[in-house]
Each structure stands twice: as structure tokens, then as C-alpha cells.
């Protein structure tokens, strides 16, 4: 049966430093590398071998995918990268230490920016250190200045419907290596989670989540591969 594997990238350097990352390109830590390799080893152990892969344009997700695929002997499978699987854009919060941001703006405001469904953080000003408008990987793309979870979902779901789902429907075992919020968008859709409840859902780093689809392409219950 068609099977979907979702993997959030392993721990990144800014995860470790407790900074808002968003679209900024940050590499994996040693722990993140180990998490990615462990995810691939678990895929091999459980006999769940991907035949097709999708990931974002961000190095932490790409490296996680490659390390996991190498660990399960599948580095050779077809792979597609797309910006629509990128992390949510944190706007003007990008690069800021989360605790310092709480001290400056208050716990309640930061909680709204991080966890509300449709309230985006402050807009990133043009020309700041973290402005990616001139990054060659985003040539021809209107790089967001900020995003709520709602706005992230609005770019992820059309990509799911138009690009990933048709591949899955053809019978492939698809792995998607992406980010906390882009994966939250997919889980919300596939598990029919409400707007209120999705904001509290945590997607752990490096732990494969699995959906199996029936003949009508209806997804079953999501589960962690480690529990399979």
C-alpha cells in the first residue's frame, strides 16, 4: 500500500542555541547528524524503504534526508527539492534568542507569535542580515517577509496536492524530510486536526512519522515508526 514517511530534520545549531530560525540556512549539530542516521537505521530495521523523496531547499532538511537515506541504503532514489516545504518564515524574529525575545516583548506576545494559528511575527525589514531576497536558490520566488502557521499551510498543501500526492498514489513509498511547521501543515491535513489543536502539536526531530493509505487514498492513523 502507498506509504508516507515524514521526518523533521535533526537538531540544528539554532535549535541548540534556542534561536528563531525560519528560512535562514543553519546546519545540523553532531546530535542532529546522529538523529538523522538513527532515523535511517530505523527505516532499515523496520523494512520500510523509501522509493521517492521530497525535501525543502534548506540544508538541515537536505542533510537529514541524505544521512537517513544513506543509513538505509537508499541514497540513490529520486529526490525533489522545493521551497514550499521550507520552514515557516519567522520574519523579524529570525536570528533572535527566544528567551531574550520573551524578556523584551513578554511571554504572552512571544507565545502568540510562536503558537497562534493566524498571527504572524513582525515583518522582516528589507536589507537586514537575514533577508534572503537575493539568495540564488530563491530566484523568481517572492520570499515571504513573515508567515503564520496558516500562511505556511497555504503554500504547503497545494504542493502536497499537486506534487507529492500523485507520486504517492502511484504506489511509491514517499519520504518527506522537512521542518516543524511545514510538517505540521501536512499532519493537520492528513489527521484532520483543528486550527486550535494543531498549534500545540510538537513534531520531534529525527523521528519518522508514518501514514499508510488504503486503495481510496485515505490515510490511516499516524504513528511513529519506532512504535510499529
CA distance 188 to 136: 31
Alpha helices in the chain (DSSP H): 13-16, 30-46, 59-71, 98-105, 107-115, 149-159, 165-169, 180-191, 195-198
**Whole-number Å distance between alpha carbons of 17 and 98:** 9
Q: Which of 87, 147, 172, 207 is catalytic?
A: 87
Cell output for 200 = 500545540
Please give the distance of CA 49 from its chain centroid, rounded to a whole number: 20
Is there a catalytic annotation at residue 189?
no
Active-site option among 9, 35, 147, 172: 9
Closest listed residue to residue 27, CA positions, set 75, 67, 84, 71: 67
Coil/strand/helix, residue 11: coil
Rounded to whole angstroms, how far apart are CA atoms 198 and 180? 11
CA–CA separation, 39 vs 34, rounded Å? 9
58, 23 Cβ separation under 8 angstroms: yes
Is 103 labeled as catalytic in the residue annotation? no
Active site residues: 9, 87
Amino acid at each position: 500500500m502507498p506509504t508516507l514517511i515524514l521526518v523533521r530534520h535533526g537538531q540544528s545549531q539554532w535549535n541548540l542555541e534556542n534561536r528563531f530560525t525560519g528560512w535562514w540556512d543553519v546546519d545540523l549539530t553532531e546530535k542532529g547528524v546522529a538523529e538523522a542516521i538513527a532515523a535511517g537505521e530505523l527505516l532499515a530495521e523496520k523494512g520500510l524503504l523509501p522509493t521517492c523523496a521530497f525535501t525543502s531547499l534548506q540544508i538541515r532538511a537536505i542533510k537529514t534526508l541524505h544521512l537517513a537515506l544513506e543509513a538505509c541504503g537508499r541514497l540513490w532514489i529520486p529526490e525533489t527539492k522545493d521551497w514550499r516545504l521550507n520552514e515557516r518564515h519567522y520574519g523579524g524574529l529570525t536570528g533572535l534568542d527566544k528567551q531574550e525575545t520573551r524578556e523584551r516583548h513578554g511571554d504572552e506576545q512571544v507565545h502568540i507569535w510562536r503558537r497562534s494559528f493566524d498571527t504572524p511575527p513582525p515583518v522582516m525589514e528589507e536589507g537586514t542580515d537575514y533577508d534572503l531576497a537575493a539568495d540564488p536558490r530563491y530566484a523568481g520566488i517572492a520570499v515571504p517577509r513573515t508567515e503564520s502557521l496558516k500562511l505556511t499551510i497555504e503554500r504547503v498543501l497545494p504542493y502536497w496536492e499537486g506534487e507529492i500526492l500523485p507520486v504517492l498514489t502511484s504506489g511509491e513509498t514517499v519520504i518527506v524530510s522537512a521542518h516543524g511547521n511545514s510538517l505540521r501543515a501536512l499532519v493537520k491535513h492528513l489527521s484532520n486536526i483543528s486550527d486550535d489543536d494543531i498549534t500545540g502539536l510538537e513534531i520531534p526531530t529525527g523521528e519518522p512519522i508514518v501514514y499508510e493509505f488504503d486503495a481510496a487514498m485515505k490515510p490511516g492513523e499516524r504513528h511513529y515508526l519506532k512504535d510499529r
